[in-house]
Structure 1
Amino acid sequence: MNRLPSRRALLLAAAGAAALAPWLPAHSQPKPIRLVVPFPAGGATDLFARALQTRLGEALGATVVIDNKPGAGGSLGSDIVAKAPADGLTLLLATTSTHTIGPALGVKLPYDTVRDFTPVVHVGNAPSVMLVPNASPAHSVKDFIALARAKPGRLNYGSSGNGTIVQLTAELFKAQAGIFVTHIPYKGTALAIPDLVSGNLDVMFDSLPTGMPHVRDKRLRALAVTSLQRSPLAPELPPVADTLPGFESVTWFGLFGPKGLPADVVQRLNTAVNTVIAQPEMRGKLAVLGIDRVGGTPAQLAKTAADELAKWKRIITERKISNE
């Protein structure tokens, strides 16, 4: 996405941020910046945060400490940041789960995702991959839609559970394609993979890092990715949007602070993150994680979060989806 400032401008601004960072205490050893990850260590959000950690600290002239606070679908860690002082020392790496799906499902949260946070920057998107068994007659998205229309109600799809991004992606696909495919929920996509390989499931949307190894091993066939553009992790795959214009379903990652974060702090954090994710080394690390960098302004993050919330609320309401 062409949403980032020029590299020279970013480097100059980052140098200023490291030298001037006025929100950090003026001690020889400034206080560390606490980056709260509202999910367990080792998960996708945690790995993303750790990929950013060192370079972001260098850009800010401070130490960035990852603080995993899992629980309650990400709301435990998010609430810690919502109630933290607005001094720029406590930040949240939020995701689609914490700031879109939960609110769209009507989950009762101890905070308001708009009122109680300050958007900083849309860091990246993680698309999914559309998978079918090797024995499937579908070799493209168009083929699968034709197959589903020829067998209404006789095909099924697996998901990682009710109300998850995997189910929502499939339901969005069904709505735009005008097909009916039965939902079979599992406790995680890993448990669904054997049934997909054996042909007991007809299709599933999975993350690129977990889904593509099965494709490389010739156990499954990949038809497309769910981002608007091709993914660096699987550049050979077309987007679903090539067949269903406008189709997009990604897990987005955004950096937020507590409400009331000063504008100069927001700007310096925004510049630092944009600088870091523009670096070739970081682009490579993100590609391995199946994440496409985004960047941009705080306003763009706020718009993304609002647009995603509206989209998933509509699908959840129309398809009568719940997390139970």
Structure 2
Amino acid sequence: MPTRRHLIGAAGLMAVAARASAQGSYPTRPVRLVVGAPPGGGNDIVARLLAERLGRHFGQNFVVDNRPGASGARAAEWVTQQPADGHVLLLANVATHAINAVLVKDSTFDADRDSVPVAPIGTSTNILVVTPSLPVQSVAELIAYARANPGKLNYGSAGSGGSVHLAGELFKLRTGVDIVHVPYRGAGPMVTDLMAGTVQLAFDNYPSSIGAVRGGALRALAVTSGERWPLAPELPTMIESGVPDFTVTTWFGVTARSGTPDPILAALWSAIDGMLAQADFQQALAAIGAVPMPMGRVDFGRFMTGEQQRWRDIVTAARVTLND
């Protein structure tokens, strides 16, 4: 007659077998990787890099599904309406899982309630750039100029509510300068006007402006990462430049709908984490100004929760709204 110990052992083996079966049969059909932005931008490029490699790894098609709107909030909402079986994933980022929780008031998506972390992918910095006609060569000179000319400097962004906009508001909060936000519909027209001097400065995403900087059409003063950026080590950080507690980075990873089986999440994490160590994938990230951000699923979840609280504190202190 089997003992209690034998019964527990059998139950444990059955659970392990069930998990292995769930992992081994995934995916059973094409997987959608949903991106809350139109084709062509950094998030879309990352998603396509990831989809192609995941497709090879799992022997199944991974298809990028672009669903722009409300800084990714609409895409995140749509994913929560799909089955929790790992066949619909979200390319999460600082907007969908941190900033939107504070700024997009009509969103029904709750990152903590509605999603689970799968794997981080990479991170990038913003870069403080000024039009060449502005007579400043450093962050300190910019602050002094702005203080001597309150309300006369305009800073551009690719749109209200993103990290480029909020970095400008954080700059105002940390330094007390009076500069005016001018939102654009995308980074392209903003950079064009910045080069022409229509707006005088921006805390732009690194890949959007670095080409103009290297071509001499813009002047870079600093990066917004906590440490010097490995792709531009010659530029000081904002903190090094005398602005305290100033760190702004963009990041992206993959999440799934809450309730997705753990073996599927583990299989996806293992596949993505393995890619981050591959030289060709690192080179592809570097081409869009990003570096890998490897960490475990639990740590990734804690990271996103910390980001949400950090941006909530900044937005509240700076009194930012989407009506700026």
Whether the TM-score (by the shorter chain) exceeds 0.5 is yes
* Counterpart in the other structure of 1:15: none
* Counterpart in the other structure of 2:286: 287
* Counterpart in the other structure of 1:52: 50
Instruction: Give the whole-Å Cα distance in 2 for the aligned partners of 1:299 and 1:194.
Output: 41
Instruction: Give the whole-Å Cα distance in 2 for the aligned partners of 1:162 and 1:30.
Output: 40
Match of 1:100 among 89, 98, 101: 98
Cα offset for 1:225? 1.6
For 1:65, what is the secondary structure of its paired residue?
Answer: strand
Cα offset for 1:72? 4.2
CA contact (8 A) 2:70 2:104 kept: no
For 1:161, what is the secondary structure of its paired residue?
Answer: coil
CA contact (8 A) 1:23 1:87 kept: no
1:304 aligns with 2:303: yes
- From the superposition, tell whether residues 187 and 90 of structure 1 become closer, same or farther in structure 2 (CA, over 3 Å): closer
* 5+ long unaligned stretches in structure 1: 1-19
CA contact (8 A) 2:147 2:177 kept: yes
Instruction: Give the whole-Å Cα distance in 1 for the aligned partners of 2:87 and 2:186.
Output: 34
Q: Name which one, 1 or 2, has greater alpha-carbon Rg.
A: 2
Give a deviation string over 1:57-112, Cα, whole Å, max 9, x none.
Answer: 33444432222223343233222321222222221111222222221114212332
Q: Identity across aligned pairs (percent)?
A: 38
For 2:204, what is the secondary structure of its paired residue?
Answer: strand
* Counterpart in the other structure of 2:14: none
User: TM-score normalized by structure 1?
Assistant: 0.84
For 1:307, what is the secondary structure of its paired residue?
Answer: helix
* Counterpart in the other structure of 1:315: 314
CA contact (8 A) 2:224 2:248 kept: yes
- From the superposition, tell whether residues 277 and 193 of structure 1 become closer, same or farther in structure 2 (CA, over 3 Å): same
Q: Which moved more, 1:88-97 or 1:70-79?
A: 70-79
1:109 aligns with 2:107: yes
* Counterpart in the other structure of 1:14: none
Give a deviation string over 1:248-305, Cα, whole Å, max 9, x none.
Answer: 2122212111101222222222121111011111110001111221020222222222
1:247 aligns with 2:225: no
Instruction: Give the whole-Å Cα distance in 2 for the aligned partners of 1:51 and 1:33.
Output: 14
* Counterpart in the other structure of 1:266: 265
* Counterpart in the other structure of 2:120: 122
CA contact (8 A) 1:134 1:220 kept: yes
Instruction: Give the whole-Å Cα distance in 2 for the aligned partners of 1:186 and 1:85.
Output: 36
Give a deviation string over 1:146-167, Cα, whole Å, max 9, x none.
Answer: 3333434333312233323221
Which amino acid counterpart does residue 61 of structure 2 have in structure 1?
Answer: T
Moved over 6 A (4+): none
Instruction: Give the whole-Å Cα distance in 2 for the aligned partners of 1:221 and 1:65.
Output: 39
Instruction: Give the whole-Å Cα distance in 1 for the aligned partners of 2:183 and 2:61.
Output: 42
Instruction: Give the whole-Å Cα distance in 2 for the aligned partners of 1:282 and 1:105.
Output: 33
Which amino acid counterpart does residue 289 of structure 2 have in structure 1?
Answer: G
CA contact (8 A) 1:169 1:205 kept: yes
CA contact (8 A) 1:214 1:220 kept: yes
Instruction: Give the whole-Å Cα distance in 2 for the aligned partners of 1:206 and 1:67.
Output: 26
Cα offset for 1:309? 1.7
1:191 aligns with 2:185: no
Q: After the TM superposition, which residues 170-189 of structure 1 pair with which residues of structure 2 at under 5 Å, given as runs? A: 170-189=168-187
* 5+ long unaligned stretches in structure 2: 1-19
CA contact (8 A) 1:21 1:60 kept: no
Q: What is the root-mean-square deviation in Å for CA atoms of aligned residues? A: 2.3
